[in-house]
Structure 1
Amino acid sequence: MTKKIDNKTRVQVLFESGITKPKTISDRTKIPLSSVERYVSLLKKGESLENKSYSPRKHTITPQIIKKVIRKANKFNKPKSLRKIGGETKISHQSVKNILEKEGFTFQRTKKRVIINNQARKERISFAKRIKKVIIDWKHIFFSDEMSIWLSRTKPYGMWIQNKNDQPVKKQEYIGKHGEKLHVWGAISYRGAISLDLFEENLTAENYINILKKKRRLMNQLYPEGYYFQHDNSSIHKSQSVQKYIKRYFSNKVIDWPSYSPDLSPIENIWAWIKQKVSSHSPQTIPELKRLLRQYWKDLNSDFLAPYFDSMPERLKQVISNKGAKINY
């Protein structure tokens, strides 16, 4: 049975999808404004909203424990969450936070800058204007995508640094042989998500068609009256064999997606959310990684996903007003 999504998670979903104003979140979710303001304040500080249990026993914060906390936080190449450090030092995550702040640490999130060229901007604007006329009800669309996740990179997205004038050491980018890698294909809709497809080999046109064959039945069951299907325009999706299959089984219900537009697709927000959740556990094996991915994927019910689909008109509006540049999603 899918568990009910609590208020904290609902707020985090909207916050991570780019909606950061407490009043807007409160209006959409009907959660008291005072609670939303508190949750948003914590999220902006890089803190987790999860209610995780830990031993209520009080531990004396000795100088040795303080040194151990600082030593673990200072490992820039292996950033860890407050809860992870707390578990390793046998104290609460709040105690870890108090120690780090007292020692002059601040939390910084890693950021990426995306630059979209003029041609891609024109295509994005054209798409936004065209799709607004074609699709009225975003509740009848499957957004699909593949992602890859290295087992060695399932780490927190930010870190605590002692000197706020210093820049965090960037995580190394590995090329070639470096541990194990898992590929994931998923699709989400307003009514929920269909089961994940996990595989370790590189995706090919043949593999992609096999995935669609397996998942098309599930999509038809969820939307017997019909639906639109979205995937990006990667070379595999545009291959002749895939296009032939798509034309035969999806008719004219496939959305022609613009290049360089992950910010327009809600499933990209879902991948980011799932990676963040998985990273908080720092899995050590592929089976553990698979278990965590499936565990969090099962939480994607209609209540969880609705805000992402409701945001589509606003995303298109922002693309047009931003002249095709990246939007805040």
Structure 2
Amino acid sequence: MHRSFLTFIISVCATSIEKQSVPRTCTPPQLSNEVQQGILYAIILGVTVDLTVKGGQGSVMVWGCITYDGFGYACWIHDGTMKAVDYVNILETTLMDSLKYYGYNHEDVYFQQDKDPKHTSKLAKQWFVDNNFNSDHIYSWPAQSPDLNPIEHVWHHLKLKLSVYDTKAKGVHELWEKIEKERNTFTVDECRRYIDSMPDRCKAVIKAKGGHTRY
């Protein structure tokens, strides 16, 4: 796996409200600025663009994270697939390095993930125990729940930036270089703006009873 430190935004760990099912009646969450600023967002992003190589398309899958203080480390998942051992390796390196860089206490981290087998494997569960993550801070996404992840907007803008190149990438390595370059054009203020939008995202999806919103 290829890792590099990025001074831009790329992906998201989630919060206890990131993908919650929305009941017909509920109280809008009160998310303080302090809570917002203490959240680290991380996700696996798949970036697919047309490549000028025989066979048509090529893709690069990336895991990375953003925080209120800036951008974390990123990992290129070369074959586009992960096993439980690969996922744990990302947690052990890319995630932990990012937490260490910003001085975050991992015992205070709220971590949310879907029920993908590699996320719920015995290996992954044991990793959280061995690394002293608070078991009360480990959440699973409910099925059929809205995605409120602010990094999705970053991903969208990144793909737009990649689409305007006059010359397409000739292969995945060149594509990765362009991804790194364009990611570095995002600013910390942009990162904070996306994270600060979380209260409005939550209120909007509650008002829509779990349906579509402008986010």
TM-score normalised by L of structure 2 = 0.73
Contact preservation (8 Å) 1:144, 1:187: yes
Change (3 A) 1:147 1:277: same
Larger radius of gyration between Structure 1 and Structure 2 = 1
Query: Deviation of residue 178 (structure 1)?
Result: 5.4
Q: Which has the higher strand share?
A: 2
Contact preservation (8 Å) 1:319, 1:327: yes
Contact preservation (8 Å) 2:40, 2:65: yes
Q: Paired residue for 2:60? A: 182
Establish whether residue 240 from structure 1 lines up as the match of residue 138 from structure 2: no
Contact preservation (8 Å) 1:150, 1:181: yes
Query: Deviation of residue 298 (structure 1)?
Result: 2.4
Contact preservation (8 Å) 1:192, 1:300: no
Point out which structure has higher relative CO (alpha carbons under 8 A, 6+ apart).
Answer: 2
Runs of 4+ in 1 over 6 A off after TM superposition: none
Q: Which has the higher helix share?
A: 1
**Secondary structure of the structure 2 residue equivalent to 1:212:** helix
**Matched length:** 187
Q: Paired residue for 1:44? A: none
Contact preservation (8 Å) 1:193, 1:300: no
Whole-Å Cα distance in 1 between the matches of residues 83 and 109 of structure 2?
Answer: 23
Q: 2:22 aligns with which of 125, 142, 155?
A: 125
Change (3 A) 1:142 1:261: farther
Change (3 A) 1:224 1:255: same
Establish whether residue 283 from structure 1 lines up as the match of residue 165 from structure 2: no
Establish whether residue 292 from structure 1 lines up as the match of residue 141 from structure 2: no
Aligned residue type for 2:87: Y
Whole-Å Cα distance in 1 between the matches of residues 22 and 193 of structure 2?
Answer: 23
Contact preservation (8 Å) 1:232, 1:259: no
Of all paired residues, the percent bearing the same amino acid is 24
**Secondary structure of the structure 2 residue equivalent to 1:264:** coil
**Which consecutive unaligned segments of at least 5 residues does structure 1 have?**
5-121, 155-176
Query: Deviation of residue 327 (structure 1)?
Result: 2.0
Which deviates the most, 234-243 or 249-258? 249-258
**Which consecutive unaligned segments of at least 5 residues does structure 2 have?**
1-5, 9-18
**Secondary structure of the structure 2 residue equivalent to 1:294:** helix
**Secondary structure of the structure 2 residue equivalent to 1:325:** coil
Q: Paired residue for 2:156? A: 272
CA RMSD of aligned residues (A): 3.1
TM-score normalised by L of structure 1 = 0.50
Whole-Å Cα distance in 2 between the matches of residues 268 and 262 of structure 1?
Answer: 12
